[in-house]
Amino acid sequence: MRGRAGSGASGRFRLLLTLAIAVIFVASVGGYLYTRWSAQRQREVYTDGARRYTVKASSLSEGQGTEQPPVTVDFDALLAVNSDIVGWIFCEGTAIDYPVLCGENNDVYLRRDYEGNANTAGSIFLEAQNRADFSDANTILYGHNMADGSMFAALQSWQDQAFYEAHPVIWLLTPKQDYKLLAFSGYTTSAYSEAYSIFTGPCEPLNEYLEKAAVQSAFSTSVELESDARYVLLSTCASAYGADEARFVLHAVLQPVP
C-alpha cells in the first residue's frame, strides 16, 4: 500500500510539473508574439505618419536644387494631431524619418508616440529645458536605440568614417525654417557627462564645449565650428556597452536653409 501511495504522489508531481512547464511555455510564446506584434505596430505608427504627412523628393515636382530638403512636411496637418510637434527629422538612407516632439518634461514622450499614445519606442523629443524653436546655442534631441533599428538606433553608425562620409547631413524641418544638421562629432559618453550641457547663446564655455566634443569624435570632418552658430546634440543609448548610463551622441551644426 505504501508503495502504491508513493507511486500515486510521484505521478501527481510529474503531472503538476508537466502542467507548470506547459504554462511557462505558453506564456513565453505569448509574450514573444506580443512583443513582435507590439514592435510591428510601433513601426506602422511612424511609417503611416511619414506616408500621411511627408512627401519625398522623388515625388516632388522637378526643379528643386541640391540645397533643398529631400522631403516636405505638412505641418498644418501634423499640428492638428498634436500641438507639441515642433519639427521633423530626416536622414536619407537611414530609418531616421520622424516628427520631433517637445513636452513639458522629458518623461512625456519617453514612452509615447507623436499621437500621444503609449508606445515603448517613444518619440524623438526635445530636451524640455531647451526652447522649442531651436534658438538656443545648443539644443538636445533624444531618441531610443531600438533593437529593430528604428528611432535613433542609426546614430551609432556614425562611429564609422565611411558611414559619416556617406551621411554628412541630417535634415531638420520646422514649421518656420528648414535646417541642415552638419555632423562634426560622434562618440560614446556617460548619460551624466558635460555633453548634455545647455547654452542659450554664444559664450566662451560653449567654445570650450565644442572643442572638447570635436576632439572626442570617432570620425574626422572638415566642418567648421563658429562661435555664433547654433548646434544640435542627438542622443541615444549606447547598446554596445550594455550599461544604462552609456550614451552615443552626435554633435551637429544647425545650418539654416535659405
CATH number at residue 110: 2.40.260.10
How many angstroms separate the Cα of 175 from the Cα of each of 33, 77, 236? 39, 11, 25
| 245: pLDDT strictly greater than 70 | yes
Region 212-236: what's the mean pLDDT? Answer: 96
Q: How confident is the model at residue 111 (pLDDT cuts 50, 70, 90)?
A: very high
* Least confident stretch, 16-20, 115-119, 211-215: 16-20
Q: Grid coordinates in use for 226?
A: 563658429
Domain carrying residue 56: 48-256
Question: Lowest-pLDDT range, 24-38, 59-73, 157-171?
Answer: 24-38
Structure confidence at residue 251 (pLDDT): 98
Strand partners, 172: 89, 179
Q: In whole angstroms, what is the distance from residue 135 CA to residue 231 CA?
A: 9
Say how far apart CA 77 and CA 184 lie, in whole Å. Answer: 33
Region for residue 226 given its phi and psi (left: phi exceeds 0; alpha: psi -120 to 50; beta: otherwise): beta
**Structural domain tally of the chain?**
1
In a domain, 2, yes or no: no
Quick check: is 213 in a domain? yes
Q: Averaged over 78-98, what is the pLDDT?
A: 97
Instruction: Give the residue with greater pLDDT, 93 vs 14.
Output: 93
Task: Read off the DSSP letter of residue 196.
Answer: G
In this prediction, what percent of the chain has a pLDDT beyond 70?
Answer: 83
